[in-house]
Structures are given as C-alpha cells and as structure tokens.
Amino acid sequence: MYRGDDLYFHLNRIEGLALGIRNGDFIPKINHFFLYGMGYGSPIFYSDIFLYPASLLRILGLSISNSYIIFLIGINFMTYLIAYYSFLFYKKVPFQAFLFAVLYGTASYRLSDLTERAAVGEVLALAFIPLAFVGVWSIFEGESDKFYLLSLGMAALILSHVLSAFIFSLFILVYLLFNIRHVIGEKTRTVAFFKAAGLTIVLCLGFLVPLAEQVAEQSFTFQTSQVAQLSQEVGSIGDYLNIAIRNSGFNNLGLLMIGLLIFLALNYSRFSKQARRLLIMTGLFLFVSTSFFPHRLLDHTVMNAIQFPWRLFSIVTFCVCWLFAENYSLIVKNEHGRKLLSYSAIAIALMLVFTHSLFVADTDRLVSRDQIEQLPSAFLGWGNEYIPSGTDFQEVIQAPKTIRNSKGITLENVTFDYGAIDLAYQIDEKDSKEAIVFPFIYYKGYQAKVNGKMMEVYNSPTFPGLSELRLSGKGTVHLAYYWTRLQLLSATISVGSWLLLVVWLLRQNKKKQKIVNEKDE
C-alpha cells in the first residue's frame, strides 16, 4: 500500500470508531484509540458519519488495511453513481452523464487525494460536489422547489470535510455574483436559496453546535497555530504543469484537465451564457490557486483556513469535467467526430489512472500490509489541530496512563477502562482541596461521579490540556465523557429533521408517481 500523508490519521479514526462501537459507545464524541487511550476529540471537529462502513468491517473481523481498501472502493462507486445521476438530473442525456462520471471519477486530482494524500475527507467531499452543484443550478436556473438538493449536498460536504464545504461555499458566492441580476429579479429563487441554507444548518446542527460549544469553552491548536500559510504552499503554473506531466504529486491537476480546459477556452464563443459564466469561474478559481494571486494578503485571514491554494483544484476539476460533458457535442458537429472526441477523452483518463502508480515520486512510502496494521495511535494528523492550546504534547504522550496528583492525596484501586477511570482517594489533611490530573485530553463534557454526585472536570492549569478535578475528604471517583445538553439537543433536532425530510421526499415522490399514473390512464 501507499502510505499517503493522512493515511494513519484516518485509519486511527476508523479504528477508534470500531473500538467505540465494540464498547457500546455507538456515536463517540471522543476517539479513545488515539493517544494510547487518552482520547482525541476528532469526532467533534471531523464527523465520523461516513466512516461507519469501514468500522463495521473491522468489527466483522477484517484487518484495518482491508477495511480501508473496501471502504475506498465504496467511495469510488458512490462518486461515480452520484456524478452520473446528478448530471442526468441536469440534462437527460445518459451518455453525457456517463462521460461526466468517468472523467470526474478518474480525475488526477481526485486520484492524488486517494493515494499521495490519503485525504479521505476530501475524497468523500468530491463525491458530493456534483449533488451540491445541481442544487445550486436548480435554485437559480431550474426548478427552485428542488432547493433541498443543495441542502443535501452541502450537508454531506460539511459532514465529510468542513474545508471542502467552505470552498464550495466560496464557489456559491462567486456563482451568485456572476448571476446577480438573475437572482435579484426573481424573489422566489432568493427565498429558495435561504430555505436551502436554513435546511442545511438544521440538518448539520448535531455537528455544528458541539463544535461551536468546544471552541467557546477553550482554544485549540488550529486556532492559535497555523498548520500552513497560503503564500508558502502555493505553486506556479510551471510547478503544476510539471506535476501534471509527471502524473504524480499531491496537487496533480492532471494533463487531461489542463488540456480540456484549454480546449474549452478555445471554443468559448460556442457556449451558452450559463456555460460561459461557469468557464470564467473555472479560470478564476485556477488563477487564485496559482502564485499569480497575492496569497500573502490572506495569510492571516479566515481564508487561510483553506491552508493550500491547490485545494481549489476540486472546483476546477469538477467544472472542467461538467463543461466538457455538457458542451463537447456543440463543438464537434458530426456524429463520428463527437464519438472520437468523447471516447478519446475517456481513453486518456483511463490511461492516466493506470500509469499513475508507475510514476510515484516517493517510493519509500510503499509499505507492506503488516506495516500498515501497526497503527501509531499518537499520530493525530499534521498539526495536532484539535488538541487544546498550550498542551505539551511530547510530555503528555511520554506518560499516557499516568495520573498526576499532589502529595497530599492517596489513590487506591485505580482501574482504567474504555474512556473511563475509577479510583478511590483520600485527602491527608482535613478541609483541604487537592487536585488530581487525569490522563485524558480535556474537552467540555468530561465529568466525574464523586461519591455518586456529578462534578465538572476542567482543563488543568498545572498540566494544560489534561483533565483536572479538585477533591476533598475521601471517597470514590468515576471519570468519563458524557454528552452535554447542547450535544443532545442539537443531535435530536438534526435526526428529527433528517427523518422529516425523508418522509416529505417520499410523499412528494408518491404524489409525482400518482400524477404520472393518472396521465398514463
């Protein structure tokens, strides 16, 4: 297997979710596989919802590597399926939908996400971009009562990869600016857009509220220490072209996408106004991803959350594939020429896929399955982004199961279980309070049951980032993570909203089918 940049982080996420399910923690907020059991709040910041298939395979007895491979096969299948039916919804031409699905599914940037980067979240997000796009198109160009398609697409993006959802939100903003006259002129479409936005928020409330609650409680590494700066990670046109020619690299736009973009630009005058706008937007996103754009102006703004300018290749790749599938028949008039053009594009796409592995730049990353199975639970991804600010990470992992307490307190019968610690304590001096620092990374929601009474746990001032409890007298302690009220409330609203939406969609489909049947009669 190829050991991509984020491979171990996502394998740890899958393993931790499986561990939680085995222990009856079916929707864990803390992944207790990380950090030798000290826990990592990745599920709060990076939704696990799409990892369940891989984790269930682990529970059924498959190895982590086999579970991951089958999981990726499933993602690929889902990507082709969503791409095909999204385009078919937009334009009822099966071959064009097929062409788009093949080009998009085999795109070099998506392939580099799968291999060099092992960016599972972004790969999942790429699967849902076509659905989100037809939602945008439905609101502003098609049937605005299909606004829920945008909600479904955006909700899936948020629950897959927040940064990809942010990037697609930028795309929507640019789309609105390019179509502002059309939007302002029709209030029903504007109302539909706000309906879609509201529905998206409600559907994702169970993820967004817990995230916001943690950020309001304390600061985290991703807020205080930038993992990357846009100006330092950007590449030139020459860099990207060189990577495309080598057909290898974590930011490989691909020769086919570059060639198709040039081909589309040369035939710009033949397209509809809508297609022209989309092509200009594609060029704009490509421009912003290069060193021609002054990224240093954005290094210390919210835009730096994107981290890498070439992440905009996700939009460029989607738009190029979409525009080519939609318009290639307008460019070449005769049937034979159209077939030659479309099948040639498919052939080149498949050739680039099959030759990709021949040009892997870093052969040291080719590792055996046995090596993959040895998961480093202390690997939290590049930047340790969801660790509380001020945590001495190296000191913490050197003693992962060490309870730190002051000299004035005696501990007995200490037992460690999944996500919990039980112990008996006694304070030597009467009426004094002593601190116990537990080996759990602190997140809002940790509580201790002291002599049967619940007590709040807090971020230790002595050992920042760990969970601390101050006690007096003597007794027993059971410390574990419990869902907060806001987590419970927001999850209830989101689950209820999903159920209501499904019921409503089924009823709408039933009504539509009834009308069709009546017409046939």
User: In this predicted model, which residue has the larger pLDDT, 179 or 148?
Assistant: 148
Q: Please give the sequence-ordered ranges of beta strands (E in DSSP) within 442-503, or none if there are none.
A: 446-450, 453-456, 458-459, 466-471, 474-481
Q: What pLDDT is recorded for position 272? A: 93
Model confidence band, residue 2 (pLDDT cutoffs 50, 70, 90): confident
Residues 6+ apart with CB under 8 A from 355: 247
Model confidence band, residue 60 (pLDDT cutoffs 50, 70, 90): very high
Task: Report residue 251 as tokens.
Answer: 């930011």
Is there a contact between 22 and 136 (Cβ–Cβ < 8 Å)?
A: no
pLDDT at 72 over 90: yes
pLDDT at 162 over 70: yes
Give mean pLDDT, residues 379-385.
90
**In terms of C-beta distances under 8 Å and separation of at least 24 residues, what long-range contacts does 182-185 make, across chains too?**
182/140, 183/140
pLDDT at 361 over 70: no
Q: What percent of the chain has pLDDT over 90?
A: 81
Pairing mode of beta strands 404-405, 474-481: unpaired
The mean pLDDT value of the chain amounts to: 93
Q: In 390-418, which positions are buried (b, 16+ CB within 10 angstroms) versus exposed (e)?
A: ebeeeebeeeeeebebeeebeeeeeeeee
pLDDT at 80 over 80: yes
Is there a contact between 356 and 115 (Cβ–Cβ < 8 Å)?
A: yes
Q: What pLDDT is recorded for position 66? A: 96
pLDDT at 365 over 80: no
User: In this predicted model, which residue has the larger pLDDT, 150 or 331?
Assistant: 150
Give mean pLDDT, residues 330-351.
93
User: In this predicted model, which residue has the larger pLDDT, 386 or 250?
Assistant: 386
Which residue is listed with tokens 């942010």?
166
* Alpha-helix residue ranges (DSSP H) falling in 357-471: 369-373, 393-398
Give mean pLDDT, residues 164-183.
92
Rounded to whole angstroms, the Cα distance separating 480 from 363 reads: 43
Q: What pLDDT is recorded for position 143? A: 87
Rounded to whole angstroms, the Cα distance separating 59 from 465 reads: 31
Question: Which of 102-116, 343-357, 412-426 shows the lowest mean pLDDT across its residues?
Answer: 343-357
Rounded to whole angstroms, the Cα distance separating 420 from 491 reads: 23
Give mean pLDDT, residues 83-98.
97
Q: What pLDDT is recorded for position 185? A: 77
Task: Report residue 394 as tokens.
Answer: 């190296």
Taking only the tens place, the pLDDT of each residue in 34-55 is 999 999 999 999 999 999 999 9
Model confidence band, residue 362 (pLDDT cutoffs 50, 70, 90): low
The residue type found at 33 is: F
Q: What pLDDT is recorded for position 359? A: 64
Give mean pLDDT, residues 357-373.
75
**In terms of C-beta distances under 8 Å and separation of at least 24 residues, what long-range contacts does 258-262 make, across chains too?**
260/103, 260/320, 260/321, 260/324, 260/345, 261/286, 261/316, 261/320
User: Which DSSP symbol is given to 111?
Assistant: H
Question: Which of 228-237, 292-301, 430-439 shows the lowest mean pLDDT across its residues?
Answer: 430-439
Nearest to 161 by CA among 116, 101, 207, 99: 207
Taking only the tens place, the pLDDT of each residue in 440-488 is 999 999 999 999 999 999 999 999 999 999 998 999 999 999 999 999 9
Task: Report residue 312 as tokens.
Answer: 């905009």
Taking only the tens place, the pLDDT of each residue in 190-209 is 999 999 999 999 999 999 99
Rounded to whole angstroms, the Cα distance separating 214 from 361 reads: 40
Identify the burial level of 502 via C-beta atoms within 10 angstroms of its C-beta, where 0-12 means exposed, 13-18 middle and 19 or more buried: exposed
Question: How are strands ordered across the β-sheet holding 404-405?
Answer: 404-405, 434-441, 466-471, 458-459
Model confidence band, residue 134 (pLDDT cutoffs 50, 70, 90): very high
pLDDT at 518 over 80: no
Angle between helix 162-178 and helix 313-331 axes, rounded to 10 deg:
50
Pairing mode of beta strands 434-441, 466-471: antiparallel
Identify the burial level of 300 via C-beta atoms within 10 angstroms of its C-beta, where 0-12 means exposed, 13-18 middle and 19 or more buried: exposed
Model confidence band, residue 75 (pLDDT cutoffs 50, 70, 90): very high
Model confidence band, residue 338 (pLDDT cutoffs 50, 70, 90): very high
pLDDT at 214 over 80: yes
Q: What pLDDT is recorded for position 297? A: 95
